[in-house]
Chain A
Amino acid sequence: MSTSVAIKQSTSTNLSSRLFSFIPGVILLAAIGYAGKFIEQSISRYGKSHHVSLPNIEYVLWAILIGLAISNTVRIPELFKAGIATYEFWLKVGIVLLGARFLLGDVIKLGGLSLALVVIELAIAIALMTALGRAFKLKPKLITLLAVGSSICGVSAIIAAKGAIDADDEDSSMAIAAILALGAISLFTFPFIGHLLGMSNHAYGLWSGLAVDNTAEAVAAGALYSDAAGKIAVLAKTARNAMIGFVVLGYAIYWASKGQAHTVHNKALFLWQKFPKFILGFLLISLLATLGFFNKDQIGSLGNLSRWAFLLTFAGVGLRTSLREMREQGLRPFIVGAVGEVVIAAVTLGLVLGADRLFHLS
């Protein structure tokens, strides 16, 4: 009895000390995110009061730029690191809450279209990355990791695949660095191309959800264009993330057949383990909103809570991007990733513009 009480006490102390360790970093994320929002509003207010037309630079970009500037100029103390790493947690909280702003019918319609495009994108991305990796003589498992990272969902897919195919740490950190560097570049190029082509919010959101690899960057690239585009980017990216288990399972079976990875015995369990569970939360909130569980004001509040959660995420994207580490990872994986990403971005752009014509997405 006393042992169980002691264990319970030590577990709760561990949990509370872990929770406390997140606080400094989360405060830093909130401060950077809020500073981004404050700068955007201040510029807009200044322009209005002085009757000058100033470019509207979204808080998303400010938060990322401030984070980038801090992480690449000063050494961030250890104290903040645990909290900064929670940016992915806030991303998932934001996505689940965003479910309130989608009716389930729209999720099925847009999600279905996204899934169809995702399947085409997956086939092209995997074939292309494999061919490029072989041409540049990269190690076979590094090629697999780059193919998984560029076809599905960046870092989390690479981490899932790393365990399943027994890849080494060096290969996975190279693949992660390449995917993150390309994600950072897409934040600046995608909105520019979208505006250049005069894309609708729907078409642009779908494109960034399909082509930008890491979920945080895909959401940020969408939000940089417009709020509505950000919403669609989340949906398209979520549909893409749902495919993670199938692709990783395919590669796990391939490497096991070569005797270089563990055999997967229970495939259904493997798929369930790799499935991103936050998608179920997103669908549940969307179902509740569709059934009228929330009124209009409450849906507005949930949408705003989701934006606050994304604000922390965008600050984390900047803080996590280390230009020095990217340089240290070597050029070949980056070149393979970059060439592959440009082709994938062009192909998915073609797919989205075609779908826009066929289904009139806006």
Chain B
Amino acid sequence: MSSGKFKLSLDGWAVGLALLLALLVRFNILPTIPW
């Protein structure tokens, strides 16, 4: 059941984390990310 709940909100978590990272990069809180 709990894994079902996680699956349902997987997209929301992914978008949330990506947006958070984007904001941290935008406001220079994260340093330049190398590859």
Q: Could you tell me which A residues sit within 8 Å of B by CB distance?
A: 18, 88-89, 92-93, 96-97, 100, 276-278, 280-281, 284-285, 288, 293-294, 297-298, 300-302, 304-305, 307-308
Contacts and interface: CB of A to CB of B under 8 A. Distances in A.
B21 A277 contact: no
Interface residues on B, range: 20 to 34
B14 to A, nearest CB: 4
Given A96-B18, A96-B19, A301-B30, 4 more contacts: A280-B15, A284-B15, A301-B32, A302-B25
Given A285-B19, A293-B26, A89 B14 contact: yes
A96 B19 CA distance: 8
B10 A304 contact: no
A93 B22 contact: no
| B19, B26, B33: residue with the most chain A Cβ atoms closer than 10 Å | B33
B24 to A, nearest CB: 10
Contacts of A284: 15, 19
A100 B21 CA distance: 12
Contacts of B34: 304
Contacts of B6: 18
A88 B10 contact: yes
Given A92-B14, A281-B15, A298 B35 contact: no
Given A89-B13, A92-B14, A294-B25, A281 B19 contact: yes
Contact of A308 (B13, B18, B33): B33
| B6, B22, B30, B34: residue with the most chain A Cβ atoms closer than 10 Å | B22
A301 B25 contact: yes
Interface of B: 2, 6, 10-15, 17-19, 21-22, 25-26, 30, 32-35
B25 A93 contact: no
Contact of A281 (B18, B25, B32): B18
Given A97-B22, A285-B19, A304 B35 contact: yes
A302 B35 contact: no
A288 B14 contact: no
Given A301-B32, A304-B35, A294 B26 contact: yes
A288 B33 CA distance: 19
**7 nearest interchain CB pairs?**
A281-B15, A92-B14, A96-B18, A277-B11, A301-B33, A304-B33, A304-B35
Contact of B10 (A89, A285, A293, A297): A89
Nearest to A92: B14
A88 B14 CA distance: 9
A285 B35 contact: no
Nearest to A301: B33
A52 B11 CA distance: 45
19 contacts: A18-B6, A93-B18, A96-B18, A97-B22, A100-B22, A277-B11, A278-B15, A281-B19, A284-B15, A285-B18, A288-B22, A294-B26, A298-B25, A300-B32, A301-B25, A302-B33, A304-B35, A305-B33, A307-B35
